[in-house]
A and B are shown apart, each in its own frame.
Chain A
Amino acid sequence: MLITCPYCGPRDLAEFSYQGDGNRQRPDPGSTDHEAWNAYVYDRLNTAGDHREVWQHSGGCRAHLAVTRNTLTHRISSVAFAREAGHRPHERKHGGES
């Protein structure tokens, strides 16, 4: 598998670390909504199909990437810097999937 790092270009899977489901929503740091915290830490969509996820180019520029990858075919349809991705998975308090 190759992931096209926006900085380094296409690189081998061996250079990346999977940082998990990008659909999770981290509550506000001060939130006392226990269910929201639990859901964030433990519950996963586990999508069969296009899946939003976070990878780190740990064996390269070390940037975290927001990747959309199909879990049935492994085809990657988009890669962006996680910090710039419009749909930052965390810090969103409300809303469902997009």
Chain B
Amino acid sequence: MVEQQSPLGPVWKPGAHGKVLGGPGVVLEETRPGSIVQLAAFPGEEKAVMAIIADATGLRLPDGAGAGMASGGKAAFGFAPGRFLVIDQEEGLAERLKPVVPVAVGTVTDLSHGRTAIRISGPKAEWVLSKLFAIDFALPAFPEGAGRSTVHHDIFTQVQRTGPDGFDLYVFRSFARSFWTTLCHASEDVGYDIR
């Protein structure tokens, strides 16, 4: 397969930036998963879709709005009523899912090219993200594995908490370069490493 080109281009500058003393507050990465797929259930079919996700990825999502899991190069979370984002480091997830989702149950939409995955981790991840999004990043309010849909001005973003101080962000590809620049800017006061 042809490798996907990163949308970040010249603004992706690996190395240490911003405040130097005290180590990097956050690490920023573009994770470049092979598959980002939306699975959407028609009303009443949510459980069926969650079962399909479990079969395909091994991730058994808990019930509830925004519930999700991340494990072993795979991640999934709910981000809207009946809608889930499923991420796999491997390519081809959408093709695998399409045949197993019955027409009456839901739909599969491949967003592997359309969303750019950015990981922010480190002790200051909550602080940096709080500059950009009006949602509560504190662990009790935003537990591990959970997903959120939110927006930074014009830039729609889906966020999954992948660890105590780690978050994966999914932004529209066309905005990724601007968003990355903004994210770096917001990370300067705590220092950041780009990997």
Q: Which of A7, A57, A63: most chain B CB closer than 10 A?
A: A7
Residues facing B in A51-94 (CB within 8 A) are: 57-63, 81, 83
Is A15 in contact with chain B by the CB < 8 A criterion?
yes
Pairwise interchain contact B150-A15, C-beta atoms closer than 8 A: yes
Q: How many residues from A make CB contacts under 8 Å with B?
A: 17
> Cα distance A57–B65 when bound, in Å?
15
Q: Which residues of B contact A62 (CB under 8 A)?
A: 80, 149
Is A14 in contact with chain B by the CB < 8 A criterion?
yes
Pairwise interchain contact A60-B151, C-beta atoms closer than 8 A: yes
- For B153, give the chain A residue with the smallest CB separation: A14
Taking residues whose C-beta sits less than 8 angstroms from the other chain, chain B's interface range is 10 to 19
Pairwise interchain contact B151-A7, C-beta atoms closer than 8 A: no
For residue B85, give the distance in angstroms from its CB to the closest CB of chain A: 12
- For B151, give the chain A residue with the smallest CB separation: A59
Q: Is the interface of A mostly helix, strand, loop or mixed?
A: loop
Pairwise interchain contact A59-B150, C-beta atoms closer than 8 A: yes
Pairwise interchain contact A63-B134, C-beta atoms closer than 8 A: no
> Cα distance A8–B65 when bound, in Å?
7
Is B79 in contact with chain A by the CB < 8 A criterion?
yes
Sorted nearest first, the 10 A-B pairs with minimum C-beta distance are A59-B151, A61-B80, A12-B134, A60-B149, A7-B65, A61-B149, A7-B81, A63-B81, A15-B151, A62-B80
Interface residues of chain A, those whose CB is within 8 Å of chain B, are: 6-9, 11-12, 14-15, 57-63, 81, 83
Instruction: Pull 11 A–B residue pairs with CB atoms less than 8 Å apart, ordered by A.
Output: A7-B66, A8-B66, A11-B135, A15-B134, A59-B149, A59-B151, A60-B80, A60-B148, A60-B150, A62-B149, A63-B80
